Amino acid sequence: MTLLHDLIGAPPGSTTRSLLLRLSAIGAVLAASAGTFAYAGGWLSPGALTPARIVDRFEQVNGPHPGFRRNHAKGLCVSGSFAANGTGARLSKASLFAAGRVTPVEGRVALAGGQPYAADAEAIVRSLALRFRLPDGEEWRTGMNNIPVFPVRTPEAFYDQLLAAKPDPATGKPDPERLKAFFAAHPESAKAAALIKARTITSGFADSTYWGLNAFRFVAADGRATPVRWAVVPERASAPETAAQAARTDRNFLFDDVAAQLRQGPLRWHLVATLGRPDDPVADATLPWPSNRESVDLGTLTLTGAAPEAEGNCRDVNFDPLVLPDGIAPSDDPLLSARSAAYARSFTRRAGEEKSPSAVAATPARGADL
């Protein structure tokens, strides 16, 4: 009995009944913990959508590419800093918004899709992912795209869309009937697709605007919360792709261009927060907010360096959208937790895989410290 007392942490003199009750409580905790892991793994509900199934779907659509991200597989590391102008301090207590604060930034420009060696094309969605390193050990990670809204509202719709948009090997394009069926089942996605198609596609990474798409909350020092969506808007004037650019045979022309531009000098964007109102949708990334919402310029993002992905740089960073500093909080958008979980699963898989050389072998730009 003394050994049993020691194993379960029961006080001396406990009765047999109290020992059994304590054992039952411990068993309940263990069962609950096991159930949590089982649920996360999809063992108790094989039909449920899990992070593993989402990553599996990417592999099903794009094929196996060990060592690479399952989405936005083709990318280039960038580095620089963010200089706050102080206007964000009234909205968020996050230290990076304090006037005069300069925060180191590392990031990644990339193209959507899970095929790292695919040729660049103007219509492919471009992304900019950033990791802000705050001086007190906090971090802010965000992934943005050059589209004004997200094409789906829920993780389940995203999972279905991946298969619906899978190119037919015979044509290289998605099956029209399969896409038609998807949009019939998801009319909100049809409206979002129209907005995405109508956007202006610029000449490259440097003159693209990147939207955060999901809503978040800025939390001020007094506890006041404001719904926000953010974007980075380029200082460089936007220009459409020229006929000469469209005719180029360079498979990496978008990445080669931004690396060359960084060798010539810094590239700058303004971090702009759009402030939502109580009735604006915060849990539906397919819906744009009204154009008359207040926008606040929070400061300047300056990129100064670029380098191919390699050990220890952006290749090994999980740009989890829920890595947030005190002063920025998630909204109720269901895509946020799904993205976080799927990113973690993808990161875990590729971390254990043999790495191939970077799909983009750009010459490092001056100031590259990645």
Of the candidates 65, 72, 186, 270, the residue annotated as catalytic is: 72
Strands (DSSP E) along 20-138, which ranges? 74-84, 102-111, 126-133
Structure confidence at residue 15 as a pLDDT band (50, 70, 90): low
Q: What is the torsional sign of CA 97, 210, 207, 70?
A: positive
Q: Of 108, 117, 167, which Cα lies nearest the Cα of 314?
A: 108
Which residue in the block uniquely carries the two structure tokens 């044509």? Answer: 171
Rounded Cα–Cα distance for residues 73 and 68 (Å):
6
And the tokens for 54?
């989402």
3-class secondary-structure state, position 83: strand
pLDDT for res 9: 47
Q: Of 204, 211, 201, which Cα lies nearest the Cα of 232?
A: 211
Q: Classify residue 133 by burial, with Cβ atoms within 10 Å: 0-12, 13-18, 19+.
A: middle
pLDDT for res 1: 47
Strands 295-307 and 267-275 turn out to be: antiparallel
Lowest mean pLDDT: which of 19-23, 44-48, 227-231? 19-23
Strands (DSSP E) along the chain, which ranges? 74-84, 102-111, 126-133, 139-145, 210-211, 216-219, 225-234, 267-275, 295-307, 328-330
Rounded Cα–Cα distance for residues 33 and 20 (Å):
20
Q: Classify residue 175 by burial, with Cβ atoms within 10 Å: 0-12, 13-18, 19+.
A: middle
Has 72 been annotated as catalytic? yes
pLDDT for res 7: 36
Q: What is the pLDDT of residues 76-91, one digit of tens each?
A: 999 999 999 999 999 9
pLDDT for res 48: 84
pLDDT for res 169: 85
Which residue in the block uniquely carries the two structure tokens 């060359």? Answer: 260
pLDDT for res 249: 72
Predicted TM-score (pTM) above 0.75: yes
> Average pLDDT, stretch 47-68?
93
Residue 105 has pLDDT above 60, yes or no: yes
Region of 212 (left: φ > 0; alpha: ψ -120 to 50; beta: rest) is: alpha
> In the predicted model, what is the mean pLDDT of the chain?
87
- The percent helix, strand, coil of the chain (3-state, each to 5) is 30, 20, 45
> Average pLDDT, stretch 240-251?
74
> Average pLDDT, stretch 114-123?
92
> Average pLDDT, stretch 203-215?
97
Angle at 80 between CA 79 and CA 86, to 5 degrees: 145
Rounded Cα–Cα distance for residues 243 and 121 (Å):
13
